[in-house]
């Protein structure tokens, strides 16, 4: 039995004993008082009637008239006169009159009041003994009314006392509930910090749990910091802080292979010409500062276009990968505006040739890089700060203008969203859920997300796409009891309208909501942490699972998410590709999985391409994998 129930039982018992006992004492006292009044009445009336009879002649008619007059006006049950030898002289009697009082009350409060007796004199001689007994109906009625009043007042007092007790219990229960919630969070490996209550015993418990949570948070911070150092060593260029060659090439390959990232995009290669001569002329510190400024400018450009990547391929070559937000010509203008002023600030004349190519998904990486090297060679041949853009036939475009794209997307969303299905399985090939990227009917066929997401972002209709996808998934899960995972965009997360519509959909489909997995981009953990935690709290009631996808570069923020209700992480393909051949990468991923498990968070690997990768990932501690190699029967 819970502590609150025991407390309520104790309060109820105390109230029952206090008010019940007080009620019994009050009723008993009232009854004693009424019985005493009746006894006194019987004695006084008997003496008064006996005195009146003693003063009369002992004519039977006079005696009978006096007794009849007294009996008829005095509410008596019995008046009798007996001779000294016990013979009955005269008797008047009436049945008990108790018709407006409940019979059970009369039986419960039965009154036993002795009759009043007095001696009737005839001069100096005793004429007889008078016995007088009053009717009890008035006494019972008075006791009944008093009992009702007492019960009413005691009931009112009990209600007031119960209300006060409820307020006290509520005041006790609030911090107790907070303690229970914090204990449950710790049991679920969410190490939350709670305000300390005023109650001494609870305050000591909360303080101890807060110390535990703080210690775990510090441990997480240290472990995350160590993993971040390892990640930087493996993925970043030490001098500039941007991606190194290995990581950039992996990201490029993922972009070319993915159906969800890019439909087409741009790739640019920037070369700092004759770096050795520049280093001799400026000195090593100034040259490093220039390279860092160059990398920072390209990184800021990449941040303006989600999904972009900047990397340093070698000492003098910098590359930038952008989605279809910019055309090659637009990218050339952006690089010219951002990089040339940095070169102009240097005390020596700098050559900064740039080559740019456009690409479509599923192109071969080596062919693309070869074309890019050719454009860069042309720019070097022209000298100075020439930018060469590859001449190429225009990529296949579904629509040629903004208006056409806008109308087509609106029509497609009205038509409805189709959901693809890619299985996510555990080490025993049991299905965890299906990844369900959206498909829209564009150009007379169902198009993958990479074909239109750039335009959806450009028209700022991510919220409409996400809601349509979630609605379709919930409708499917009402019939098919299978867990489905859907993407939610960062822009939709920040929209109050999105959260309201999502709440309404989940209320309308409570059963299906328990099978819904929602995953957001990793960057929300950095830029929209408050919105993400708010969404997690709101969806916890429905049983939805919340996760982050493409996790990698911002993994160190996991310590900030451990109290949010996060359920799972999907590690980016840049971490999992060729994992069976990269021992150093294995150490990083094993640490990430271990840290996730310490917080009760599932670790899932994305873009698994080979059985060898799959085997190694489960060996490193992954709870699930997904990718081209993952198939399920049926």
For residue 94, what pLDDT band results from cuts at 50, 70 and 90? confident
**258/345 same-domain check:** yes
Burial class (CB in 10 A: 0-12, 13-18, 19+), 93: exposed
Q: Is residue 413 domain-shared with residue 267, that is, in the same domain? A: no
Residue 397 clears pLDDT 70, i.e. is over it: no
**DSSP codes of every residue in 146-189:** HHHHHHHHHHHHHHHHHHHHHHHHHHHHHHHHHHHHHHHHHHTT
Query: Cα dist. 420→292, 401, 456 in Å?
Result: 42, 28, 18
Q: 487 and 553 share a domain? A: yes
Burial class from Cβ neighbours inside 10 Å (0-12, 13-18, 19+) for residue 134 reads buried
Which has the minimum average pLDDT: 93-102, 388-397, 469-478, 491-500? 388-397
Predicted confidence at residue 97, as pLDDT, reads: 67
Are residues 471 and 372 part of one domain?
A: no
Same domain, 422 and 374: no
CATH number at residue 450: 3.20.20.450
CA pair distance 128, 125, nearest whole angstrom = 9
The phi, psi pair for 479, rounded to 5°, reads -100, -45
Instruction: Calculate the average pLDDT of the chain.
Output: 85
Instruction: Give domain status of residue 379, yes or no.
Output: yes
pLDDT at 361 over 80: no
Q: Could you read off the pLDDT of 315-360 as tens digits, one per residue?
A: 889 999 987 767 888 899 999 999 999 888 887 778 899 999 988 8
- The pLDDT value recorded for residue 12 is 80
Q: Which of 19 and 227 is assigned the larger pLDDT? A: 227
Backbone angles phi, psi at 94, to 5 degrees: -130, 145
How crowded is the C-beta side of 271, counted as CA atoms within 13 Å? 22
Nearest partner of 76 among 94, 101, 100, judged by Cα: 94
Task: Give the N- to C-terminal CA distance of the chain in Å, as an integer.
Answer: 48
Residue 36 has pLDDT above 70, yes or no: yes
Q: Please state, in angstroms and rounded to a whole number, the distance separating the CA atoms of residues 242 and 314.
A: 12
Q: Which of 346, 362, 389 lies at the terminal end of a domain, its last residue?
A: 389
β-pairing, 354-360 with 264-271?
antiparallel
Residue 401, pLDDT above cutoff 70: yes
Residue 419, pLDDT above cutoff 80: yes
Average pLDDT (239-262) is 84
Greatest alpha-carbon span in the chain: 161
558 and 598 in one domain? yes
pLDDT band at 260 (very low <50, low <70, confident <90, very high): low
Mean pLDDT, rounded, for 16-31: 79
Dist. CA 364–CA 371, nearest whole Å: 11
In terms of domains, do 308 and 456 share one? no
Residue 172 lies in a domain: no
Q: Which domain holds residue 494?
A: 402-625
- Of 128, 160, 192, the position where a domain reaches its end is 160
User: How many Å apart are CA 596 and CA 241, to the nearest integer?
Assistant: 26
Confidence band of 295 (pLDDT split at 50, 70, 90)? very high
Q: What distance in Å separates the CA atoms of residue 280 and residue 261, rounded to the nearest whole number? A: 42
Annotate 525-550 with b (16+ C-beta within 10 A) or e (fewer).
beebeebbbebbeebeebebbbbbbb
State mean pLDDT over 429-451.
Answer: 89
Contact partners, residue 434, CB within 8 Å, separation at least 6: 421, 422, 423, 424, 482, 483, 484, 485
Instruction: Let me know whether 143 and 11 are in one domain.
Output: yes
The dihedral through the CA atoms of 43, 49, 51, 54 has a sign that is negative
CATH of the domain at 362: 3.30.70.270
pLDDT of residue 496: 79
Q: What percent of the chain has pLDDT over 90?
A: 26
| Domains: count for the chain | 3
Show Cβ contacts of residue 12 under 8 Å, excluding neighbours closer than 6 positions.
none
Q: Where are the alpha helices (DSSP H) in 524-610?
A: 524-527, 529-540, 558-561, 573-576, 583-598
Q: What is the CATH number of the domain that holds 13?
A: 3.30.110.200
Q: What is the model's pTM?
A: 0.70
Asked whether residue 213 is domain-assigned, the answer is no
Structure confidence at residue 280 (pLDDT):
78
pLDDT of residue 274: 80
Domain edge (last residue) among 363, 389, 415: 389
Q: Does the pLDDT at position 393 exceed 60?
A: no
Q: Is the pLDDT of residue 396 over 60?
A: no
E strands present in 136-289: 264-271
* 447 CB-side CA count, 13 A: 21
Establish if 226 belongs to a structural domain. Answer: no
Contacts of 478 (CB under 8 A, 6+ apart): 509, 511, 512
Q: In b/e form, how buried is each residue of 407-436, taking b as 16+ CB within 10 angstroms?
A: ebbeebbeeebebeebbbbeeeeeebbbbb
Q: List Cα–Cα distances, 164 to 12, 16, 21, 287, 623, in angstroms.
A: 12, 15, 20, 76, 52
Q: List, for residues 491-533, the tens digit of each pLDDT value.
A: 888 887 898 999 999 999 999 999 999 999 888 877 888 888 8
Q: What is the 3-state secondary structure (H, E, C) of 63-130?
A: HHHHHHHHHHHCCEEEEEEECCCCCEEEEEECCCCCCCCCHHHHHHCCCCCCCEEEEEEECCEEEEEE
Residue 209 lies in a domain: no
Asked whether residue 36 is domain-assigned, the answer is yes
Going by DSSP bridges, is the β-strand pair 418-419/602-605 parallel, antiparallel, or unpaired?
Answer: unpaired
More confident residue, 137 or 425: 425
Quote the pLDDT of residue 435: 94
pLDDT of residue 99: 67
Residue 597 inside a domain? The answer is: yes
Residues 461 and 583 in one domain: yes
> Is residue 143 domain-shared with residue 38, that is, in the same domain?
yes
Does residue 408 share a domain with residue 380?
no
Q: What is the mean pLDDT of residues 543-549?
A: 92
For residues 17 and 72, state if they share a domain: yes
- Give domain status of residue 27, yes or no: yes
């Amino acid at each position: 039995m819970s502590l609150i129930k025991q407390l309520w039982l104790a309060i109820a018992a105390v109230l029952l004993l206090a008010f019940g006992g007080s009620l019994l004492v009050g009723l008993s006292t009232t009854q004693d008082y009424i019985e005493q009044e009746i006894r006194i009445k019987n004695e006084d009336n008997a003496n008064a009637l006996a005195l009146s009879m003693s003063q009369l002649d002992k004519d039977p008619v006079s005696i009978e008239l006096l007794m009849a007059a007294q009996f008829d006006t005095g509410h008596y049950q019995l008046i009798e006169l007996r001779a000294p030898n016990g013979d009955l002289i005269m008797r008047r009697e009436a049945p008990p009159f108790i018709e407006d009082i409940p019979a059970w009350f009369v039986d419960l409060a039965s009154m036993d009041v002795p009759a009043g007796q007095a001696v009737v004199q005839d001069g100096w001689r005793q004429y007889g003994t008078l016995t007088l007994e009053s009717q009890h109906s008035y006494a019972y009625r008075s006791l009944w009314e008093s009992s009702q009043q007492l019960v009413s007042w005691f009931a009112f007092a009990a209600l007031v006392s119960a209300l006060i007790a409820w307020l006290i219990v509520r005041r006790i229960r609030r911090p107790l509930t907070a303690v229970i919630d914090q204990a449950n969070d710790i049991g679920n490996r969410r190490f939350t910090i709670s305000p300390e209550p005023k109650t001494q015993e609870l305050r000591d418990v909360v303080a101890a749990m807060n110390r535990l949570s703080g210690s775990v948070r510090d441990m997480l911070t240290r472990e995350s910091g160590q993993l971040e150092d390892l990640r930087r060593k493996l993925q970043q260029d030490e001098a500039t802080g941007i991606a190194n060659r290995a990581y950039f090439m992996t990201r490029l390959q993922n972009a070319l292979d993915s159906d969800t990232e890019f439909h087409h995009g741009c790739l640019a290669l920037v070369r700092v010409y004759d770096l050795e001569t520049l280093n001799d002329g400026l000195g090593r510190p100034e040259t490093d500062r220039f390279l860092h400024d160059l990398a920072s400018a390209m990184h800021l450009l990449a941040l303006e276009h989600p999904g972009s990547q900047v990397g340093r391929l070698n000492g003098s070559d910098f590359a930038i990968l952008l989605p279809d937000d910019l055309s090659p010509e637009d990218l050339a203008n952006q690089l010219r505006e951002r990089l040339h002023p940095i070169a102009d600030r240097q005390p020596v004349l700098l050559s900064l040739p740039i080559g740019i190519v456009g690409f479509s998904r599923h192109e071969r990486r080596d062919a693309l890089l070869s074309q890019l090297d050719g454009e860069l060679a042309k720019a070097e041949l022209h000298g100075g700060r020439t930018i060469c853009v590859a001449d190429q036939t225009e990529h296949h475009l579904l629509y040629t203008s903004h208006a056409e794209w806008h109308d087509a997307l609106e029509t497609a969303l009205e038509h409805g969203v189709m959901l693809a299905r890619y299985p996510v399985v555990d080490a025993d090939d049991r299905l965890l859920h299906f990844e369900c990227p959206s498909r829209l009917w564009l150009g007379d066929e169902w198009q993958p997300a990479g074909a239109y997401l750039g335009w959806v972002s450009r028209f700022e209709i991510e919220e409409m796409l996400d809601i349509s996808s979630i609605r379709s998934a919930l409708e499917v899960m009402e019939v098919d009891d299978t867990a489905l995972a859907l993407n939610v965009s960062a822009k939709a997360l920040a929209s109050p309208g999105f959260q309201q519509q999502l709440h309404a959909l989940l209320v309308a489909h409570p059963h299906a909501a328990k099978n819904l997995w929602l995953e957001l981009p990793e960057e929300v953990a950095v830029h929209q942490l408050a919105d993400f935690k708010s969404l997690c709290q709101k969806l916890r009631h429905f049983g939805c699972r919340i996760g982050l996808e493409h996790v990698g570069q911002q993994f160190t923020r996991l310590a900030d998410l451990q109290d949010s209700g996060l359920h799972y992480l999907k590690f980016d393909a840049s971490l999992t590709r060729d994992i069976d051949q990269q021992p150093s990468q294995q150490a990083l991923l094993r640490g990430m999985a271990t840290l996730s498990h310490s917080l009760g968070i599932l670790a899932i690997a994305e873009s698994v391409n080979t059985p060898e990768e799959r085997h190694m990932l489960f060996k490193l501690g992954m709870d699930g994998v997904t990718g081209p190699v993952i198939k399920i029967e049926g």
